[in-house]
Structure 1
Amino acid sequence: MGSPTFKGNPTTQPERGKNREVGLTYSSGLHEVKVTRFDNRVKGFITLQPAVGNVPRARIEGWSLAYTGAAGAWSWYTNLELLDARNELNLRKLQRRADEVLTASVDHKVGAWKWGASLQLVSERFDNAANTQRLPGYGTLDLHARYTVNKDWSVALRLNNVGDKFYETAYSYNQPGRAAYVTLNWAPQQ
């Protein structure tokens, strides 16, 4: 059963597109750097705003730069994505697509414990196809820890949105504030 406020559109057609991507990866020991250039051209791009329908031609292009590394008990990952996503007919930005997104994480392992943090920074973007309603950028920090009880069992603790940041991924669609989770994991090993 669908949402009472969300209506489909029987005339919506499937998307068709072409993707071009070229990348370069450099690895040395436990370190790796990747740079990728991508260019996606989509005919019939499906959009939800102002109603479900097709954008005749859209182009999503940009760069991705990632770094993964480790040293001793530490490991980390960062990724920066620079994006230009547009309706090719009117050159307006596609809604809810940030031009810049940075994600980063760091982990430390000591005995049966593994703990760390992850960060996400998202630039402002438009919520509507007319590019008149802006969604502000935001940043969130999450903390996590895991204790391995034995080869089959572990306990995980997670604190999301440590700063209790108010943010929306869509207009009037508030994301959860600070939240804590405790998880008991069972994964039988052979």
Structure 2
Amino acid sequence: MYQLFSEYGNGFLAPETARNFDIGVEQAFLGNRARVGVTYFNRRTRNQIDFRDCSPTELETPNSICANRPFGVYDNVARAEADGVEFALALRPVDALTLTANYSYIDTENRSIGDNFGNDLARRPKQTASVDADYRFAFGLSVGGTVTMVGDSFDDAANTTRLDGYALAGVRAELPIGERFAVYGRVDNLTDTRYETIAGYGNYGRAAYGGVRLRLK
């Protein structure tokens, strides 16, 4: 509804359809203390719905979809392709410690005939990776951390505005109190990194959260 009827909406959007498949393999080692997986995926999309920024020239073009839309509009990408590979590694060197790592490489391409043919799809980083570590102490306290790395991407279909890659770190902890309660807390974006996933739009800086969990059973 938002994509059709909001101030950025386009009532002429065609339904998005896609065909995709993936194939993968996973193997455990060392008495199930190590696990490795790899997956290949492929996706072909017709009429992909995406947000389109409008250039000054498009704003002044009569009968353009961008007429009177200075902040952009939703539009269809007639044909798009994406394929890539994902790697996953999980290690449990001791019962209390779990380490996991993931890496993805995704190649996207605009296959619509026109000026943007062959360009990367907007806001789709080619590379992402993350590393997690979690440790549980004998008295019940669990602590952990995550580092996420995201590669460069483009903000627009024309691939003229680059979004720089970034790295984020976070930490978390949880302590059970009795059988039903636990207190927890986490800090996101620990290093207060400045980054953008959409050009001109900022994201949260360092942020801390905490609370209490209740288990009914």
After the TM superposition, list the runs of 4 or more consecutive aligned residues in structure 1 that deviate by more than 6 angstroms: none
TM-score (norm 2): 0.83
The answer to whether structure 1 residue 49 and structure 2 residue 52 are counterparts is yes
Aligned with residue 37 of structure 2, among 24, 34, 54: 34
Matched position secondary structure for 1:48: strand
Task: Give the whole-Å Cα distance in 1 for the aligned partners of 2:108 and 2:178.
Answer: 47
State the Cα distance separating 1:160 from its structure 2 match.
0.9
Matched to 1:68, the amino acid is A
State the Cα distance separating 1:6 from its structure 2 match.
4.3
Task: Give the whole-Å Cα distance in 1 for the aligned partners of 2:100 and 2:209.
Answer: 23
Query: 49-58 or 115-124: which moved more?
Result: 49-58
What RMSD over aligned residues (CA atoms) do the two structures have, in Å?
Answer: 1.8
Task: Give the whole-Å Cα distance in 2 for the aligned partners of 1:143 and 1:12.
Answer: 42
Match of 1:108 in 2: 135
Q: Structure 2 regions of 5+ residues with no counterpart?
A: 54-72
Task: Give the whole-Å Cα distance in 2 for the aligned partners of 1:172 and 1:105.
Answer: 30
Task: Give the whole-Å Cα distance in 1 for the aligned partners of 2:156 and 2:178.
Answer: 50
Identical amino acids, percent of aligned pairs: 28
Task: Give the whole-Å Cα distance in 1 for the aligned partners of 2:93 and 2:186.
Answer: 24
Task: Give the whole-Å Cα distance in 1 for the aligned partners of 2:152 and 2:204.
Answer: 19
Q: Which protein has the bigger strand share?
A: 1
TM-score (norm 1): 0.94
Matched position secondary structure for 2:36: strand
Aligned with residue 122 of structure 1, among 129, 150, 154: 150
Match of 1:77 in 2: 100
Task: Give the whole-Å Cα distance in 1 for the aligned partners of 2:177 and 2:106.
Answer: 42
Q: Structure 1 regions of 5+ residues with no counterpart?
A: none
The answer to whether structure 1 residue 61 and structure 2 residue 62 are counterparts is no
Task: Give the whole-Å Cα distance in 2 for the aligned partners of 1:86 and 1:150.
Answer: 53
Match of 1:147 in 2: 175
Matched to 1:96, the amino acid is R
Matched to 2:146, the amino acid is S
State the Cα distance separating 1:77 from its structure 2 match.
1.3
State the Cα distance separating 1:106 from its structure 2 match.
0.4
State the Cα distance separating 1:22 from its structure 2 match.
1.2
Matched position secondary structure for 1:119: strand
